Each structure stands twice: as C-alpha cells, then as structure tokens.
Amino acid sequence: MGHTHHPFIRSNNGTTFVNVGSCGLPRDDGRYGAACLYNPISQDLKIIRFPIYEQTKTLLTAYPTVNKSVYNLLERRSHSIFGDLL
C-alpha cells in the first residue's frame, strides 16, 4: 500500500491498513502535506494535514529545473481531504 501518496486508514477483518500519504508531494491535494499520529497505548490512529503550498512554491521558484510533473502535483485539488486539517 505504500508510496501512493494518498493518505487513508482502513480496517479489514481485524487488520488496519494505514497509508500516511506524503508530507511534501501529496497526490490528492497539493496544498496539504500529511502525517500520521499513533498512540500505542490506545492504538488510536489519526492522519493530520498541514499547509505546504507556500513553502513548496518558494522552493520550486528557487529550483526552476524541477520537472513540470511536480508543479502539476501541487496544483491538484480534492473535494474531500482525508485527515484533520491543522
């Protein structure tokens, strides 16, 4: 399940699958990075989302030879963002 850059938490037959997504190149919405918080005592899992657009845009301006596909990722928008926005 890893490396899709699409965050999710799913359970199936008692097994929980977690994909953190990406903190720097998310595939669902280029405005928000993702991280996962895990509490080993309660076994609670939470995906958190945080704004990265301005910082990433600044970096891409500093490195103009970055492939156009990276720019396209940052322009992606999703109607439903998985996780809690900070």
Question: What's the pLDDT tens digit per position in 42-55?
Answer: 999 999 999 999 99
21-78: pLDDT as tens digits: 999 999 999 999 999 999 999 999 999 999 999 999 899 999 999 999 998 989 999 9
Residue listed under structure tokens 């926005």: 85
Q: What is the mean pLDDT of residues 2-22?
A: 91
Q: Specify whether the CB–CB gap between 6 and 27 falls below 8 A.
A: yes
1 has pLDDT over 60: no
Pairing of strands 44-51, 32-39: antiparallel
